[in-house]
Chain A
Amino acid sequence: MIPTVTELFEDFDDISDLAEGLDDPSPGARIMAVIELADSADPAAIPHLARAITDVDASVRKQAAQALTDFDGPDTAAALVSVLKDPEPSVIEAAAISLTELKDPTSGNAILPHLDDEDEVKLAACLAGIKELRRPEALGPAINALQHRSTTVRVQAVGVIGWLQDEAALPALREAAKDADKLVRRTALAALGFSNSEHAEATLVNGLVDSEWMVRESAAETLAKTGGASCVEALRIALDDEFWQVRLKAVRSLGRLGATDAALQIAPMMDIPVPNLRKECAAVLGELAVPETAQFLEKYADDADPDVRKNVRWALEKLAA
């Protein structure tokens, strides 16, 4: 008689049984209990994990902060926020990551009271956590945070404002677009994408001549979403930018804006030996469909790059139609 196999399935143990492991004197056993509680994926585990995140041992606290990624809601958020000033940086880091994974807007209830915290690490983590929850109450504190000395805080604050898409925040975002830090400027310009106001457009046009190419790239890209006829001239100037990445975004935006006037300026760019740029030029020439550009496209109908060939053929069809 062959004996039967003893262990087969993963367990679905009772949560309170699993939680008993949190009282074990050894940190390793408590860590394993935290992992099993997380693996349960059962919201009943949240209060136990909230207890584990106050453990005397830092590795248990870190594990609990990671484990809470598997859960959502105000209690989860409150437990995570409570360790953002932990003496052990790895605990803070884990909690900050878990905060960004929250999806339930009510989780924001536990974060909102901390959006004016003195501690910059905590403040940045709270702003990052509230961003995707899109809580309107976060707008004021986020605007205030734009004045913060920490670049990280300012970048996160711009993120919160951008996701809220509230025209009332426009003056603050336009200020942020003049920030001393290039990452803040770049993020702020991208965040303006929701606005249809001419002020946003003017700010983006200014961004096209920023000293940093990634800021110029962001401006050129965002103008496709929000720009009107008045930014075409500035985008045409950006077609001569020293960075092909900026030129590429300018080409794309001119296509989206239907700037047929720019077609003959874009067409000779097909000769530039940067495949990414040529691909984009061909596609945009198709969108603009100006017959005079056909001769530039035809030169590249048999281009060695399959993507360029594909776009050229498509563009020529559009021109013919």
Chain B
Amino acid sequence: MDEILDGLTQIDCDILVIGGGTAGPMAALKAKRKNPEANVVLLDKANVKRSGAISMGMDGLNNSVIPGYATPEQYTKEITIANDGICDQAAVYRYAQECYGIIQELDEFGIRFQKDQNGEYDVKKVHHIGTYVLPMPNGDTVKKALYRQLRKARINIINRFMATRLLTGEGRVAGAICVNTRTAEFLVVRAKAVIMGLGAAGRLGLPTSGYLYGTYENASNSGEGYAMAYHAGAGLANLECYQINPLIKDYNGPACAYVAGPMGGYTANAKGERFIECDYWSGQMMQEFFDELQGGKGPVYLKLNHLAEETIAEIERVLHIVERPTRGHFHEGRGTDYRKQMIEMHISEIGFCSGHSASGVFVDEHARTTIPGLYAAGDMANVPHNYMLGAFTNGAFAGLDAADFINDVDYASFDEGEVEAERTRVLAPTKREDGIPPNQIEYKTRRLVNDYLQPPKVTAKMELAQQRFEEVREDMETGMYARDAHELMRALEASTILDCAEMAASASMFRTESRWGLYHNRVEYERDDDNWFCHTILTKGADGQPVHKKQDVKPYVVEIAEDEKDAYYKQRVDPSSVAAE
């Protein structure tokens, strides 16, 4: 294994789904069910059984909109406010209307949602103002249940192939070029429609541990979706709205306000005092977190040691079994116990991920990108705060729309020369006698991201970043060296990460205001609603460099009252009221 082989195969399919994590499998299933005659291929860089952000499972739904307990209108309003108003509501609203159907479908797949002792959905945390959390007691079986459905539907699955570039022609998508991660053999897939569900750009910033793979996101999510969309000419929205999360320091897993919050856990400063009232992840919350650290009141902690033993045991049960089960190992190794001490938290490295922010490949309420026949869903598409259920639901929208799209089109013709050019680009690191290994290219890129792009954002620093990225690119294109197929995969990822880093810098320079709290805190600029109440759209220019434009936010479907708009601004605890539980 890993020896570089010469190989090239071309296959045809109606719908190519790239990414077998969360959105991809649902897209493939929906397309196949709607159009059983369609040849649907699901391709993954890893193995569909355990790929993507929910590799080990998920502890619950953060954004379920269940009739009788929350309304699509209320949900749309909340998400709009949490995104500082910059949100095309149609996609959010459609999600909110249809996600309950997806919950029921997941339930039929065998993914169970919490029920009470009479077998009814457990809505105890839910009241009619709208709460959206629905725990999943067997959330560790999500991937298994999905895989079972894929096999039953006889979806064609291709594992261990990494898509590197999309093919386009006749003004629409034509397919994708892929390379095997264990043999470096090539696969060209001609497709009438392509659905991308490639996850977040999780390896953009460098974790403070310095370990390249110690990221918040699944480290295999290295941003290929963003890079491929960019090189194909699709629009990417609001990339300056970074993902930054409050995490357990070093472990880099979520502190999980959703689990611990309703049970009385909270974020505290070094004195054990609460300083933010709401642990919902927002840019403003992260700004308060940052300010507390800068103000010398840190470190910041997750505080649970005031809670009853039964409550802590329950929190441990959820946090240590599902989603990131090594978390128990981590605390054990450190000798830290929720009962005895507070757990140190910190600010994560930056990334792109719409699961918790608003950036990504621009899509509408059908998951269509700006390129006909090309769809995107999940963490890489710009439907804000969509989490796991959003990936499932928007993936479903993509699959349903693509199933219709292929009825009216044949394969788009593309320039055969592109395949040869891509083979040359991809294989270049394997043709050298020696050179710079991919991990050093990646480390340097990501270290520069931390040094110059991590907010607060400063223009002069971002300009320096751009210069330095260019130098790294030169080194990468002329000197990167891969000894086997596995290293070649890392080399391709390094290239993707550099693309994303350049997009992050460029998008941040374009929006000359501050917005979304810490996510886009530009120290030289105040918030400017008059000029910047808009999306920013980044595309690849004729010279190969990013170009930017403003795009109007579509008229709201659900109006937001003036006094509701600031719902996420004021979060700091009034010092006169001392929190105690």
Contacts and interface: CB of A to CB of B under 8 A. Distances in A.
A4 B264 contact: no
Interface in A239-277: 243-245, 252, 255, 273-276
Contacts of B280: 306-307
B551 to A, nearest CB: 28
Contacts of B264: 244-245, 274, 276
A165 interface: yes
Contacts of A41: 148-149, 151-152
Given A4-B8, A8-B187, A190 B574 contact: no
Contacts of A236: none
B151 A273 contact: no
B147 interface: yes
Given A4-B7, A9-B158, A187-B117, A306 B277 contact: yes
A214 B11 CA distance: 60
B329 interface: no
Given A8-B187, A41-B152, A193-B116, A2 B579 contact: no
Contacts of A193: 116-118
Contacts of B149: 41
B110 interface: yes
Please report whether the interface of chain B is mostly helix, strand, loop or mixed according to DSSP: loop
Contacts of B110: 101, 103
Contacts of A69: 141, 144
Given A305-B278, A308-B277, A314-B129, A5 B119 contact: no
A302 B566 CA distance: 10
B580 to A, nearest CB: 6
Nearest to A244: B581
Nearest to A221: B124
B436 interface: no
Interface string A52-93: 000000000000000001100000000000000000000000
A39 interface: yes
B471 interface: no
A100 B278 CA distance: 37
Contact of B310 (A190, A214, A283): A214
Interface in A1-22: 2-6, 8-10, 12
A4 B180 CA distance: 12
Contacts, number: 135
A5 B157 contact: no
B169 to A, nearest CB: 22
A309 B568 CA distance: 10
A122 interface: no
B118 A162 contact: yes
Contacts of B138: 100-101
A8 B118 contact: no
A10 B7 CA distance: 19
B6 interface: yes
Interface in A278-310: 280, 283, 286-287, 302-310
B14 to A, nearest CB: 15
Interface of A: 2-6, 8-10, 12, 39-41, 69-70, 100-101, 103, 132, 134, 158-159, 162-163, 165, 187, 190-191, 193-194, 213-214, 221, 243-245, 252, 255, 273-276, 280, 283, 286-287, 302-311, 313-314
25 contacts: A5-B180, A5-B186, A8-B11, A12-B154, A41-B148, A41-B149, A70-B144, A163-B119, A191-B117, A274-B264, A275-B278, A280-B127, A283-B128, A283-B129, A286-B129, A304-B277, A304-B278, A304-B572, A306-B278, A306-B571, A307-B278, A308-B277, A309-B567, A310-B129, A314-B129
